[in-house]
Structures are given as structure tokens and as C-alpha cells.
Amino acid sequence: MLKLEPRPELSRFWTFASPILALLITVLIGVALFAALGKDPVKGLMVFFYEPIKNGYALGELMIKATPLLIIALGLAVCFRSNVWNIGAEGQFVFGAIVAGGVALLADKNTGSWIVVAILVAGTLGGMVWAGIVAFLRDKFNANEILVSLMLVYVATLLLSYMVFGPWKDPNGYNFPQSKTFEAVTQIPRLFKGSRVSIGLIIALVGAGALWVFLFRTRAGFAQQVGGLAPAAARYAGFSARRAVWVALLTSGGAAGLAGALEVAGPLGQLTPYVPAGYGFAAIIVAFVGRLHPVGMVFSAILMSMFYIGGELAQSRLGLPKSLTGVFQGLLLFTLLACDTFIAYRIRRKAAAKAILTTSSLQASTPLTAPVARPTEGAL
């Protein structure tokens, strides 16, 4: 029988190298999966890891996918470092998209370019409101933020369906459940002519830099992390645990809402039932693969977007289901968790551990100095 025993000291090298090891294991499992499905593993790997970067257009599409993943992951990192488990970023993404889409629908041919700023602000505030519900219930009633945030995902999705099937349905849309196409003035400005990459990429990278400064160079960021790791120590130092919850959730919700606004006013250009693309859930993996560090999350967001594009290409070129994207995402997460487990623990045999425990008990019960025999009268 085997047991997991905590290691006396964690390896600093493997703490940062385990995501790379997890990726390699994921690739090996992917090769076996392609072979089991009767597909050429080399072609399968090229679809996932070469096609998304083979030319400028492919790189642009990769950045489009990576932008919302990175923005949402940055907000989630604040939550997770504060020990606040926001699992409902997908709902905050959707609600932010709804509010931003509502503002975009107000635009007409005479509207100025200022509407873009209004759309982004509206999306951010929408995400903050949706996350604020979670913060309020956690703060006032000690409700579990995991369950509340997760359930609100379905509420936001149903609300989106109601709007595109009802009040915001395009009367000229041939009865399809979608809003009318937004006016051109609402389009998020693009970075390059002929490319769909928008200023959202710049916002995401600036956000990564701002998060690094906040977490590692400000007193507020230090207080946020201490409040999550050691609430008693935070109270002793004068930091507010309640404030940490509100800051974490509002920051996370605002980032998710901003990503939703960039998505509907960017690549989509309208509201449809397909706005929920799973970015909020995939960003959780992005955050942990990136070790909750802004720089690490930049690379993990690119990796996760490769899985998205690779899954779409595998469907069209290899005849595989699009759900393969979720398979690779799940494999990466579980292999990372396995690697992290072996970083913190080592495997020992229970019998050996029992013997060590028995020996230690005997040593503890034995006096340090053996009793000296009392001499007899004859010896005297």
C-alpha cells in the first residue's frame, strides 16, 4: 500500500517548470488519442500547434482568441490570490456583453466614435454588477461564492436568450435569434488594416502590466493577498477581509465584463445565443497554468487559444468533434494538478511508514540513560 507524504521542502525549479511538464504529458496523451481514433498523430499535432501560428493571418486569429482569455484570467488571478473562488466569470462575461450590446444598439448613423468608450465602460460595469451580487451574498450572508457565481452563469445565459429571442430580436433577421448587426461606428478599433485584431490586445497587455504592479509593488495588492492567505494576520495588520472580498470580485467581474464588451463589439458585431463561448471557464485553466502571475498568464492564454483554434480545425480537416478542444483543456488542467501534487508530496509505502512510526515511538518511550544497577552488600 502506498501513501502520499508531504515533502519537507518544495522544489523551486519544479514549481515553475511543472506547467511545461504538464503540457508535454498532455501532448503525449494527445498523440495516443489521435492514434486510437485512427488519425495521423503528426497531422493532429500540427493542427493544434502549427496551423495557428503558420502565418500572419493565423497569428491574428490566435490573438483574437487569446485576448478575452487573458483579460478574464487577470481578474481571476486577483480572486484566487485573495482566496476568493469566483467560478462564474462566464456569467459575468455574458452579462457584460448584454449591457455592452444594449448600448451598441442605441447607436445610429449619426452617433460619434465616443460610443466605443461607452460600450467598454458599460460592459465593465455590467460585469461588476453581476459579480457584486456574489460579493453581497458572501459578505452579508456568508453564502458560498463558488455555488452562487456558478449558478449566476445560467441566469445570465438565459437572460441573453430572452433578449435575442424577444425584445432585441432583429425584425429583419429571418426569424433567427439574434440582434441586429451593430452600426460600424460601434466597432472596436483594429490595430492593423486587413486584420481583425483590435485594441483589446493592447488593453490586455496593459492590464497584465498593471496587475503586476498592483500585486507586487503596492500596499493594496499586498493587503489583498494577505487577506486571502491569512485572514487573522490581515486583521491584526489592520487589513479588511470584507474589503478584500469586494475588491477581488469586482475586479474579476469588471475584467470579465470588459472581455464580453470587446467580444460583441469586435469579432461578433451583434448579440447571439452563441456569445457564451466558454472563455470564463477556460480562463480558470489559463490562470492556474500561468501560476497566477501576469507574465505566465500571457503565455498560457496563447496556449489555450491554440487549443480553441486547433479544435475548430480538427473538426473541419480531420472530421473530429469540436469537443476535442475541451478534452485538451481538461487534460492540461488535470496533468498540471497531478504534477503539482507530486511537487508537494512524495509516495511512500505504508508498511515502511508504519515501521518508522513504530521505531520513533519506541525511541520516545525509552529513557535517554539506562538505569544503573544498585550494588549488593557483598560487593561493598
- Which residues have C-beta within 8 Å of that of residue 172, sequence separation ≥ 6? 180
Extended beta strands in the chain, E state: 2-6, 345-349
d(C-alpha 308, C-alpha 65), whole Å = 8
d(C-alpha 284, C-alpha 274), whole Å = 20
d(C-alpha 30, C-alpha 47), whole Å = 12
185 burial (CB, 10 Å; 0-12 / 13-18 / 19+) is: middle
Domain boundaries of the chain, sorted by first residue? 66-288
- Profile the chain (380 residues) by mean pLDDT over runs of 10 residues: 86 88 94 92 92 92 96 97 95 98 94 95 98 96 96 97 95 92 94 89 97 94 83 79 92 98 95 94 96 96 94 89 88 92 87 52 47 42
Cell of 102: 444594449
Q: Give pLDDT, residue 151.
A: 97
d(C-alpha 66, C-alpha 148), whole Å = 27
